[in-house]
Amino acid sequence: MRLILLGPPGSGKGTQAQRLVQRYGIVQLSTGEMLRAAVAAETPVGLKAKDLMANGQLVPDDIVVGIISDRIDQPDAAKGFVLDGFPRTVPQAEALDELLKKKHLRLDAVVELRVNESALLQRVETRVAEMLARGEEVRVDDTPEVLTKRLAAYRSQTEPLIHYYSERRKLATVDGMMTIEQVTREVNRILSAVGALEPKLAPARKAKAAARKTARPAAKKAAKTAKKAVKTARKAAKPASRGAKTAGNKKAARKAVSAARGRGGASAQKTVRKAAKKVTKKRAKR
């Protein structure tokens, strides 16, 4: 599963990304965290990024894409990944497409969490007011003023991605104003529809399939036993002499063969033994 979550600040991308990580065992790719990890690990691209960051410069797209490339090559990303916060621009999206193409990977979906900006601002204002009332310190980047600037940057830089991925038939939109649970269900429905999720059997069907799988060796053995029983019954049903076969012999033989074929296993063997015994008694009376 490989997907991108799009949406303005406060739309719930991080929450949904974490839910996908926990449920499906994929990794969340956050460019900020990846940059810090690459710098700490002193990878080639990490060292390049370190020098730029130390000088207060923005890390160029090619270095960010290089870090993403290294990250998705790691074993824990084998099941897939969710990108949250990248790409932010159309050039970054194009660079990501090229990277995935080189690695022979396919992007399953781009899920846009669409929200009402006025409602987002109201949420922040309410949260800040509640924190101040409790005497808590408010983060400098968690204010209505900062959010207003971030929303403006999102509209100018990132919103064009909606058209970009829509043209490529990768975009699906979810109402981000729904509850967290409702958004999660809708995201899962979309991923299932595009084939990003493996179909899961219902518990009853899963148990039935497991039982059927377990029963196969026993059924095979029973069939083999039944076949052997049929052969034994036919042999036992043959008359002692080449004279005329009695109606009783024929009936007993037919019964034995039918039982061995139809039932198999212990029940077939029991019927065969009974029929063979009956035939033996009749022969003795002659």
Exactly one of 23, 79, 106, 139 is catalytic; name it.
Answer: 139
Single out the catalytic residue among 127, 263, 274, 282.
Answer: 127
Residue 156 is encoded by which pair of tokens? 């100018």
Q: Please state the three-class secondary structure of 243-258 as a single string.
A: CCCCHHHHHHHHHHHH
Residue 203 has which token pair? Answer: 């518990």
Q: Is 139 a catalytic residue?
A: yes
Amino acid at the residue 286: R
* Active site (annotated) includes residue 150: yes
Element at 278 (helix H, strand E): helix 265-285
The residue annotated as part of the active site, out of 13, 50, 71, 170, is 13
Contact 70, 39 (CB under 8 A): no
- Residue in 4, 9, 12 with CA at minimum distance from that of residue 117: 9
**242 catalytic per annotation:** no
Question: Coil, helix or strand for 172?
Answer: strand
Q: Report how far residue 47's alpha carbon sits from residue 40's, in angstroms, rounded to the nearest whole number.
A: 9
- In DSSP terms, 4 is beta-bridged to 83, 110
Spatial separation of the C-alpha atoms in residues 80 and 174, rounded to whole Å: 21
Specify whether 286 is catalytic: no
Among the listed residues 36, 88, 228, 273, the single catalytic one is 88
88 is catalytic: yes
- Which residue matches tokens 């929450």? 15
CA nearest neighbour of 239 among 223, 222, 252: 252
The answer to whether the peptide bond before residue 60 is cis (omega within 30 degrees of 0) is no
**Residue from 150, 228, 278, 283 carrying the catalytic annotation:** 150
Q: How many CB atoms lie within 10 A of CB 155?
A: 12
Paired tokens of 100 = 């995935």
**Catalytic residue positions?**
13, 88, 127, 139, 150
